Amino acid sequence: MAGIVLFRRSGKATGSVKRGRLGKWLAIAVIALGCGTTLGWWYLAQRPLWKARAAHARQQWQTALDWLGPYVRAHPEHAQARLLVARTLAHLGRYQEAEQFFAKFSALEQQDLVLRAEGLTQMGRLSDAVRVYEEMLKRDPRDVLALKRLSILQLTQHGVGQASQLARQLAQIPEAETTAYCILGVIMHELDPSMAVDYFEKVRNKSHDFEGFEIPAETLWRD
């Protein structure tokens, strides 16, 4: 009895299968080529930003800015690139230009607030710098840098009251105690020089812990 043939391949059918496979591989090759071209263009477009980030990490500020300029002009909506421009300009001491970028952000990280406040201080915009340091303290009431700088700014802007309060708040932080005593000594010098002696004596006794900060001589010794 003859067997039952379930499938029979003819030469014609085999040729169709081969052509089908060839078409599939050609389609895959076209897709791969297209993806490769897209990735290539994407790499070329993003390369300046990567170069800028690498230069910024090495503190090569001008090199970073040179890479960032064309990128930001081509991608003005790229927030991280614009923020990197602001940081780089601040490090270069181009505070007014940096502020133009910082001011467009509704929220900044603590490190960026520090750069912004420093720039505002250097430009003489002390009231604006005060507001930035106050924002930092809202986030972290024990931010040593913000307490230290804000107390000095308040002393020059609003007198001894707010400055003294901030300095006493700073004195509650063990690692900043000596700095706080120095600030309190300056503040007390405004009220009663004899009272300042006690604080400066504490500074001298704890001098090995002293981290230091700059105080203009006219602020410390003016009559």
pLDDT in tens, 19-72: 555 555 554 544 444 444 454 444 455 687 888 899 999 999 999 999 999 889
Residue 204 has pLDDT above 90, yes or no: no
d(CA 42, CA 208): 54
The encoded tokens of residue 56 equal 């910024």
Distances (CA, A) of 90 to 14, 70, 86, 87, 213: 71, 19, 6, 5, 20
Q: Which strand (E) or helix (H) includes residue 124? A: none
Q: Which strand (E) or helix (H) includes residue 49? A: helix 11-57
Determine what percent of the chain is predicted with pLDDT higher than 70: 71
Kindly report whether the global pTM for this prediction surpasses the value 0.85: no
pLDDT at 46: 65
pLDDT at 157: 79
pLDDT band at 146 (very low <50, low <70, confident <90, very high): very high
